[in-house]
């Protein structure tokens, strides 16, 4: 059985305590690998290696074009091992093979994209600003921020890690990556690819382990300049508190309870397709999942019935099986959490339309039928709280203003979607939705080139796009006075 390794200061190594924990295949509930259980001492070694590589190594001062070449080799390495990595993620996470392959291909593109930005930055390292006084020349430069501690989730194991690692490396930072203990194996392959691409020792480090034993020491470490975290609100709050002790930079992506507004002038079949994709893609284990659907009353009953029929035809099974569109939930803990939320939804008075239980014929594995609730009380947990599973609530509305009020009545603000054939209305509604990402006539398409992040309790900061690169930089102004001039504030100019 494969045992994973840590990657610290350019070397693959066992954890200090030689401790491991099982990697569980959620389709079989069987152990298929053992994951290195890094401890605080391993985090300390990794952070100190990253610190040395940043303070005294070549990477931060390396020309952006040279860094870009290495990033492109990483992208090529990911593509060369795409099917291998995808299968690891299927066994680790449960998602179907086509979804996993899509994720891995996106991860490779992410490195290519940030290689391009590294080259662009190298070509224009400074911006000159007119300050209105010819005696002064002011420039703005962006320099690598330092050591970045990246703590990443289990729902897109490789891709979410790459969202943090690729821009950090492109900007000249050094990184310590702590992936989720539930899904760590593809990140070990990433370390192998980064090593083979020629990234200098200490620039990238990988420590797997649990949140308390590895994640918290990374967030607490005084030599880390920035903590970049994706996960739950509760853990994000702890990360932010830890970072505040050292006045360190922090970025947080904390999920949501995203609304999808469907108006009665749209094609119902198109709406059903996007509702399905918005909540059942990746088993609903998606931070931006549009899990609160608001449908205008004129089409509510027809849309709900078509959605029920379509939902009940979704192929459920192991992610390795051909034709499967819905795999098992990632772990027993997550499975129990989603089942508890469904039971709470029933008690709240919401109407269970379909699903909510284990599908027939699945005695093992964390399988759950895709679930639809209707007429959920808007104060209930099933309507307000993130479930992170294949569970959607459908409620009716009458007017545009009512839909907006219901959509914005949430502590979250990561994403939202609106569907209508009236594009003017779509633009008007999009402008008033309190969310960092708004989709018009679709749900969930995600592009590396545009920023990702939310309002309110969905987090702080932005990833992806140029914003993701800038988030790994410090901004410096340099102002120069013309040496041929005299200031003359305290000392008179000579005769």
pLDDT in tens, 65-78: 999 999 999 999 99
Give CA–CA dist 192/80, Å, rounded: 12
Give CA–CA dist 203/175, Å, rounded: 6
- Known catalytic residue: 29? no
Other residues' Cβ atoms within 10 Å of the Cβ of residue 273: 15
- Cα 213 vs. chain centroid, distance in angstroms? 22
The residue extents of the domains of the chain are 2-255+458-479, 259-440
Other residues' Cβ atoms within 10 Å of the Cβ of residue 469: 22
β-pair type (226-230, 391-397) = unpaired
Q: Whole-structure pTM over 0.85, yes or no?
A: yes
Give CA–CA dist 204/174, Å, rounded: 6
CB 310 within 8 A of CB 325: no
Whether domain 259-440 has CATH 1.10.645.10: the reply is no
Closest alpha carbon to 180 in 204, 150, 225, 202:
150
What DSSP designation does 339 have?
Answer: H
SS3 20: strand
- Cα 211 vs. chain centroid, distance in angstroms? 17
Residue 327 has a pLDDT of 98
Give CA–CA dist 487/489, Å, rounded: 6
Place of tokens 């890690």: 161
The CATH number of the domain covering residues in 2-255+458-479: 3.40.605.10
Give CA–CA dist 145/472, Å, rounded: 5
One of 101, 119, 188, 253 is an active-site residue; which one? 253
CB 147 within 8 A of CB 54: yes
> pLDDT digit of tens for each residue in the chain (495 aa)?
899 999 999 999 999 989 999 999 999 999 999 999 999 999 999 999 999 999 999 999 999 999 999 999 999 999 999 999 999 999 999 999 999 999 999 999 999 999 999 999 999 889 999 999 999 999 999 999 999 999 999 999 999 999 999 999 999 999 999 999 999 999 999 999 999 999 999 999 999 999 999 999 999 999 999 999 999 999 999 999 998 888 999 999 998 999 999 999 999 999 999 999 999 999 999 999 999 999 999 999 999 999 999 999 999 999 999 999 999 999 999 999 999 999 999 999 999 999 999 999 999 999 999 999 999 999 999 999 999 999 999 999 999 999 999 999 999 999 999 999 999 999 999 999 999 999 999 999 999 999 999 999 999 999 999 999 999 999 999 999 999 998 988 887 555
pLDDT digits (tens, 9 = 90+) for 2-55: 999 999 999 999 999 899 999 999 999 999 999 999 999 999 999 999 999 999
């Amino acid at each position: 059985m494969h045992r994973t390794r840590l990657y610290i200061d350019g070397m693959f190594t066992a954890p200090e305590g030689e401790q491991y924990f099982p990697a569980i295949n959620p389709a079989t509930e069987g152990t298929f690998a053992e994951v290195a259980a890094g401890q605080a001492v391993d985090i300390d070694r990794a952070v100190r290696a990253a610190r040395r590589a940043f303070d005294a190594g070549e990477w931060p001062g390396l020309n952006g074009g040279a860094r870009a070449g290495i990033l492109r080799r990483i992208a090529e390495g990911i593509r060369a091992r795409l099917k291998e990595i995808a299968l690891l993620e299927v066994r680790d996470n449960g998602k179907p093979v086509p979804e996993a392959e899509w994720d891995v291909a996106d991860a490779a593109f992410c490195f290519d994209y940030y290689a391009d930005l590294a080259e662009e930055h190298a070509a224009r390292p400074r911006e000159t600003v007119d300050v209105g006084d010819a005696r002064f020349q002011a420039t703005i430069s962006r320099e690598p921020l330092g050591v970045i501690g990246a703590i990443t989730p289990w729902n897109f194991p490789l891709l979410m890690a790459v969202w943090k690692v690729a821009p950090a490396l492109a900007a000249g930072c050094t990184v310590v990556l702590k992936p989720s203990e539930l899904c760590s194996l593809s990140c070990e392959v990433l370390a192998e690819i980064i090593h083979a691409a020629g990234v200098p020792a200490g620039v990238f480090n990988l420590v797997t382990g649990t949140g308390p034993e590895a994640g918290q020491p990374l967030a607490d470490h005084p030599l880390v300049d920035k903590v970049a975290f994706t996960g739950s609100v509760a853990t994000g709050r702890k990360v932010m508190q830890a970072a505040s002790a050292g006045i360190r930079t922090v970025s947080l992506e904390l999920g949501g309870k995203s609304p999808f507004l469907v108006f009665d002038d749209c094609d119902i079949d198109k709406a059903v397709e996007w509702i399905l994709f918005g909540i059942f893609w990746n088993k609903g284990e998606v931070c931006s999942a549009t899990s609160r659907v608001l449908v205008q009353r004129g089409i509510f009953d027809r849309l709900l019935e078509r959605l029920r029929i379509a939902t009940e035809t979704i192929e459920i099974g192991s992610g390795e099986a051909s034709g499967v569109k819905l795999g098992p939930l990632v772990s027993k803990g997550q499975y129990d959490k989603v089942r508890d939320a469904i039971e709470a939804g029933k008690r709240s008075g919401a109407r269970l339309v379909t699903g909510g239980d284990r599908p027939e014929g699945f005695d093992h594995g964390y399988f759950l039928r895709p679930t639809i609730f209707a007429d959920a009380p808007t104060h209930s947990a099933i309507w307000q709280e993130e479930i992170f599973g294949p569970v959607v609530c459908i409620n009716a509305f009458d007017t545009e203003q009512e839909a907006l009020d219901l959509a914005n009545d949430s502590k979250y603000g990561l994403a939202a979607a609106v569907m209508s054939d009236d594009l003017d209305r779509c633009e008007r509604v999009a402008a008033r939705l309190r969310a960092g990402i708004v989709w018009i006539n679709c749900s969930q398409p995600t592009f590396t080139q545009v920023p990702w992040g939310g309002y309110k309790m969905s987090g702080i900061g932005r990833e992806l796009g140029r914003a993701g690169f800038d988030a790994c930089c410090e901004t410096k102004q340099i102002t120069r006075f013309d040496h041929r001039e005299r200031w003359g504030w305290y000392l008179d100019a000579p005769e």
